Chains A and B, each alone.
Chain A
Amino acid sequence: MCKKTRDIHPILSLVCSLLLFVSGLLFVKESWFWAYVVTFLILFLLFRYESQIVNLGPFILIFGIIMGGLTLINGSRHDALYALYRVLALGLAGVLSMSIKPINLVRSLNQLSVPRWVSLGLLIVIRFMQIFREEIRRIRQAIRLRGIRFAATPGLWSRAFFIPLTVRMLSISEGLATSLETRGFSTDSEGSSFEVIRFKRRDLIFSLLFLACLTCYGYLFLRGR
């Protein structure tokens, strides 16, 4: 059976994630941007998002440094710093969106009477990314075992990579479509829900703290204008 998870309500996570991204982009040029980042990191740690932070952190730092470095080629030090900050804003939003369990998002969207073809379409898009990553891993393995190296034969390597990738993607799309139809999925029917995703006290506390923090920084931002 499904374990009880301690995740924040998926719709709340999605909305907060969007708010963080937009506000982060607005605040990048403020002197207190670091405090903004640290505040939300503390909030996330309070709500046990440490694994998402650890998973995403190194990627965001590397990506930020690359973006900052590229900006530095044609721009000033400030521009480079802002580029890094923008990536950090993306990372903050990513921590929340990474925690969303796709099936819970679909179920809560269904509870809000969002058409199933929209919610399930969203789920398949999310899943397809994971499938895509797994397929790339398998294709690279297959290339290795046929003894093809990019450095030696780049043309052949590209062929061995892109042809199976295209074929697999088409095959998976077809398989998924067939599987959905034969498992009774229909846009005409709303379907039932195995699990009701409720808005809990924990979600309320999170949303109040989140809004309080965001309001403070929003006020600082507006006062500085």
Chain B
Amino acid sequence: MSCALEVVNLSLSYDFSEEKTNREKRWIFKDLNFKVNQGDFIMLTGHSGCGKSSLINMINGVIPNLKKADVEGDVYIHGQRVTDSPVKERTKSVGSVFQNPREQIIFDQVADEIVFPMENINETPRRMRDKLASLLQMTGLSGDAKTATLSGGEKQKLMTACTLGMGQKILLLDEPLANMDARSAEELLELLKQLSDDEGYTVVLSEHRKELVLPYADKVYSCVKSDDENVEMTLEIFENAKDYRCGISLLPDRVSRVTAKMTGSAETVFSFENIDYRIGDRVLFEDFSWNLKRGEEWVVLGENGCGKTTLLNLLFGFVRPTAGAIISPYNRKNNRKKIGYVLQNPDYQLFMPRVRDELYLNAKSPEFVEQLIHLFGFEHMLERHPLSLSEGQKRKLGFACILANEPEVLLLDEPTVGLDDEGMEQLLHALTLLNARTGNDRTIVTVSHDKRAIPYLGDQFLILSDCAQYQPISEQFQTVRYSI
């Protein structure tokens, strides 16, 4: 089998201090060597911030062409040395799907976004129409849909479709499943596997939800801690994916599910009474009724774009139903402060000059903040600027800041996206700590697609389906409980 991609003595450093020699520098990777054959399906894994995205960006040329870094070694694509080639040259052979799809969308309409890369590579209108039709069918998106109204998962599907439309035989995907529901993720993985097996596509896919990708992967490249003290990471290669074991480390004694539920007579904190919610022609809720009682922990499930985040926005009061009413003591302005809402993107929530200031802003109890600092390992970064942290650390910090306010109602929107197993365990443990502080009377509503975390995030499930239907399945949650 021919070699699609080869990396020779590849090293990466973000340490730009001129006085240091190469030996003294701090390296993310040092002298990486590997070959990827045509038709291989590689799962790239490792903890948050270990350098998976950097490795992908070194292959497609984003590093060092668009993002500054100290890079040594060589990259070969189909036997050609491309080390000095710009991104546009490498793009002819390598397709890339990045994280944060929201930041990459240019056009108003889905169809225009998908055909844009095809226009760039001079495809004929007829071929573009054919490809567009098949990509729309594959993703389940509507060509006329406005990109601004797509959910996070739908945006991710859109950006994947854009890349697939270009038809490069090497695909690099950086956490493409992060916001996708299980069915969409499996559909995408099946498509990638089919492309890899039948048409010789080479797929390198970085992902934290390993249990989802592992059945499709031929090989696993795992970023692990290096023995060299000047080098952070090295790559452990499993030539057969079956030899790799998912290291999900959740322990029931650390992350205990809350069992003593207050039901029956507990106060109703939110009552949705026959609400409708529409965005333009799109119906997200129709005649939807739902009661949420104090102390309940709900996980909201459903396919991308079915209205999960909108449900959280309705709970917080960011949006109002187009018909019907939401009755809640938290509707009063002053009581709204008692609701904590963790957004998907932490960048919006962080603005203080130091991590310490961020954590103590509006914190109720310094002792609890200390506990959170210890739990998330913030001790050594308290004086740092929050925006200088890695994505995973920022996500944890945003979460900790909201928890430090000790809200009575906690709304979590995809809290585990981009978190490795350790980060997820810390997050779940923090929830347990919060609950323990007040005798389990927190009401928590979580939106999540993450099979790793769902069983620990709640014991009542609300499945939103068909964009207007709903199915409360609290009694039968055992039957849909996800198995890890």
Q: A interface vs B, CB < 8 Å?
A: 1-3, 101-103, 123-124, 127, 130, 134, 138-139, 141-142, 144-147, 159-160, 163-164, 167-168, 171-172, 174-186, 189-196
Beta-carbon contact of A103 and B107 below 8 Å: yes
Interface size on B, residues (CB 8 A): 64
User: Complex Cα distance A145/B100, Å?
Assistant: 22
Query: Is A194 a contact of B119 with CB atoms below 8 Å?
Result: yes
B120 nearest CB neighbor, chain A only: A184
List 24 A-B pairs, Cβ < 8 Å: A1-B111, A1-B129, A2-B112, A146-B361, A146-B402, A147-B362, A159-B352, A160-B351, A164-B347, A174-B103, A175-B103, A178-B104, A179-B106, A180-B106, A181-B65, A181-B66, A182-B60, A182-B62, A182-B98, A183-B117, A184-B88, A184-B120, A190-B122, A191-B122
B351 x A193 contact (CB < 8 A): no
Q: Which residue of B lies closest to A192 (CB)?
A: B122
Nearest CB on B from A169, distance (A):
10
Known A3-B144, A144-B336, A190-B122; further 16 A-B contacts with Cβ < 8 A? A1-B111, A1-B129, A2-B109, A2-B111, A2-B143, A123-B106, A145-B316, A146-B401, A159-B351, A178-B104, A179-B103, A182-B95, A191-B122, A192-B118, A193-B125, A194-B128
Docked complex Cα distance between A144 and B98 (Å): 30
B96: chain A residues within 8 A (beta carbon):
182
B123 contacts A by Cβ under 8 Å: yes
Q: Which of B73-81, B177-185, B337-345 contacts A (4 or more CB under 8 A)?
A: B337-345
Tell me the complex Cα distance, A167–B349, Å.
Answer: 11
Contacts of A130 in B (CB 8 A): 108, 148
**CB of B196 within 8 A of chain A?**
no
Min CB distance B15 to A, Å, is 21
* Complexed CA–CA distance, A195 and B132 (Å): 13
Closest beta carbon of chain B to A123's beta carbon, Å: 7
| Cβ contact within 8 Å between A178 and B143 | no
Instruction: Give which listed residue, B91, B109, B111, B133, contacts A184 with CB less than 8 A.
Output: B91
The yes or no answer to B235 lying at the interface (CB within 8 A) is no
Residues of B within 8 A of A127 (CB): 106-108
In the complex, which residue of chain A has the Cβ closest to the Cβ of B387?
A167
Find chain B residues with CB under 8 A from A176 CB.
103-104, 106
**B62 (CB) vs chain A CBs: closest residue:** A178
Chain B residues near A175: list those with CB within 8 A. 98, 100, 103-104
A167 to chain B, nearest CB (A): 6
**A168 surroundings in chain B (CB, below 8 A):** 347-348
7 interchain residue pairs of minimum CB distance? A175-B103, A179-B104, A184-B120, A142-B348, A183-B117, A163-B351, A181-B87
Check B443 for interface membership: any CB of A closer than 8 A. no
B62 to A147, Cβ gap below 8 A? no
**B128 contact set on A, CB distance < 8 A:** 192, 194
B residues 154-182 near A (Cβ < 8 Å) are 159, 162-163, 166
List A contacts of B401 (CB < 8 A).
146
**Contact A182–B316 (Cβ < 8 Å):** no
Least distance between B228 CB and chain A CB atoms (Å): 30
User: A139 CA to B159 CA in the complex, in Å?
Assistant: 24
Smallest CB-CB separation from A159: which chain B residue? B351
Interface presence of B116 (CB below 8 A): yes
On whether A181 and B343 interact (CB within 8 A), knowing A103-B112, A167-B387, A168-B348, the answer reads no
Closest residue of B by beta carbon distance from A134: B148
Instruction: Give the docked Cα–Cα distance between A130 and B103 (Å).
Output: 12
Please, what's the 1-or-0 string for B355-399, where 1 marks a CB less than 8 Å from any CB in chain A? 000000110000000000000000000000001000000000000
Q: Tell me the nearest residue of chain B to A130, going by C-beta.
A: B148
Q: Does B124 belong to the interface (CB within 8 Å)? A: yes
User: Which residues in A have their C-beta under 8 angstroms from that of B88?
Assistant: 181, 184-186
Contacts of A189 in B (CB 8 A): 120, 122
Residues of A within 8 Å of B347, CB to CB, are 164, 167-168, 171
B348 touches A183 (CB 8 A): no
The minimal Cβ–Cβ distance linking A171 to chain B, given in whole angstroms, is: 6
With A142-B343, A145-B341, A177-B66 in contact, do A184 and B121 touch (Cβ < 8 Å)? yes
Q: Which chain A residues lie closer than 8 Å to B464 at the CB level? A: none
- Nearest B residue to A1 via CB reads B143
> Do A164 and B116 form a contact, CB below 8 Å, given A101-B108, A145-B341, A175-B98?
no
Q: Which residues of B contact A160 (CB under 8 A)?
A: 351
Cα distance, A100 to B96, chains bound together (Å): 31
- Among A142, A164, A182, the most chain B Cβ lie within 10 Å of the Cβ of A182
**Which of B107, B119, B166 has the largest number of chain A CB atoms within 10 A?**
B119
> Which residues of the partner chain A approach B352 to less than 8 Å between Cβ atoms?
159
Q: Are B116 and A183 in contact (CB under 8 A)?
A: yes
A112 to B179, CA, bound (A): 41
B405 within 8 A of A: yes
How close is A133's CB to chain B, nearest CB, in angstroms? Answer: 10
- Chain B residues in 8 Å Cβ range of A185: 88, 117, 120
B42 at the A interface (CB under 8 A): no
Q: For B143, give the chain A residue with the smallest CB separation.
A: A1
Specify the chain B residue showing the minimal Cβ separation from A175.
Answer: B103
Q: Residues of B contacting A145 with CB < 8 Å?
A: 316, 339-341, 343, 349, 402
B424: interface (CB < 8 Å): no
Q: Give the contacting residue for A178; candidates B66, B108, B125; CB below 8 A.
A: B66
B348-A164 in contact (CB<8A)? yes
Q: How far is the CB of B409 from chain A (nearest CB, A)?
A: 12
